[in-house]
Amino acid sequence: MASWKSWTVFVVVCLLGKISGLDNGLALTPPMGWLAWERFRCNTDCKNDPDNCISDRLFRTMTDILVNEGYAAAGYEYINVDDCWPERERDPRGRLVPDRERFPYGMKSLSDYVHSKGLKFGIYEDYGNFTCAGYPGVVGHLAGDASTFASWGVDYVKLDGCYALPADMDHGYPEFGRQLNLTGRQMVYSCSWPVYQIYAGLQPNFTSIIEHCNLWRNFDDIQDSWASVESIIDYYGNHQDVIVPNAGPGHWNDPDMLIIGNFGLSYEQSKTQFAIWAILAAPLLMSVDLRTIRPEYKAILQNRKIIEVDQDPLGIQGRRIYKHRGIEIWSRPILPIHGQHYSYAVAFVNRRTDGTPSDVAVTLRELGLNNPAGYRVEDLYEDVDYGVLSPQTKIKVKVNPSGVVILRADAQPPFAYNAIPTRTPYNDVFRLSRK
């Protein structure tokens, strides 16, 4: 795997000359929370579907579940409203108004409720004449809308890009970010700036995007299907040389929402999405009905060890280091570091469709793990600690179709390999079993 030489150089460059991002002190690790859009879309029919429409009731319910069922304790902290929340027209003073029937108490009341539970509140708007669903956009009202959001206690703003000229975004997105900062309230700023420019055949100015946004979208909206998840994985792998260097504390690539627990992914596919999103240092924004999610999918979303990988303070986005005949290996440098040796999270992904698990065998050294003191290796889904392994140890994993095995390999301090009892692999082949 010769690509690991260039990968090591890339890591060193990242750490020695980190790209500086939006200096608002926010999103130093990828944001985590719950977002309405993929699961609930623009359902405004509260008369016939009161439990699932975009309404004050829905967001208060999800707030309660986040706190009461362990999601907040696992790190999920944002409750984010998406499109379709306002009235179709602004008030006589030009201010945005929440839909009076679906949000009868106003957004300040909802925000206060979210804050009372120890969580943070996010909202959606669009740098255009209209939002994607046809509600008022921020064009012509940048300062006023920023002030409105601050007065409501908003902590996170997602700014979409429908009904806008992509060329205008190089000015418009930074200007709205400036207006948010001028309010004096700290708000995470999520941008759709680059994806609309890419669609239009323009080359995004990522230097500017990094300077003005905490996170941004590069590719298509996720849909509730494995094909959609695969297309995002492929995009991030195929364009990683452009995408990866832009990520870091305070500025993240956003591959879109987690659809785990909905209708379109199997159990194995759900585990794959969560593992790859962690390797990508992606925001973890669930879009699922938390009232009805099955326990096995809830367990994926609350897997603390994989969340710890996603939230690693180094903030280095991982890369695809191997792709051959439907088998992929993805790797991300993480803490701890000992000398020149990083720890890693490594995901083995089976993209084959032949219906049987696939064995993948590789030495730690072939993965670029060369620490003479070895690595403590753990399977993050099976919750099995395999002890300290040497770089020469060959690991063999069995990966289910459309599934994943994700390992954490923590670099050991000097001489730890001899000091800590280890398992002795038969014929220097270490087999990691999969159920």
Q: How many Å apart are CA 435 and CA 425, to the nearest integer?
A: 20
Contact 290, 260 (CB under 8 A): no
155 is catalytic: no
| Chain-centre distance for alpha carbon 96 | 29
Picking from 214, 184, 192, the residue whose alpha carbon sits closest to that of residue 83 is 192
Picking from 107, 114, 116, the residue whose alpha carbon sits closest to that of residue 150 is 107
Q: Which of 112, 170, 220, 221 is catalytic?
A: 221
Neighbours of 47 (CB within 10 A): 8
Q: How distant, in Å, are the alpha carbons of 45, 84, 321, 424, 431 from that of 397?
A: 48, 46, 17, 17, 6
The two three-digit tokens of residue 228, written as one number: 């959609």
Q: How many Å apart are CA 179 and CA 387, to the nearest integer?
A: 52
Q: Which of 83, 99, 126, 160 is catalytic?
A: 160
Q: How distant, in Å, are the alpha carbons of 268, 315, 364, 382, 398 from that of 434?
A: 12, 29, 19, 8, 6
Q: How many Å apart are CA 404 and CA 265, to the nearest integer?
A: 13
**Beta strands, E only, 353-393:** 358-363, 375-379, 384-389
221 is catalytic: yes
Give the bridge partners for 389, in sequence order: 375
Picking from 170, 177, 106, the residue whose alpha carbon sits closest to that of residue 143 is 177
Q: Which residues are catalytic?
A: 160, 221
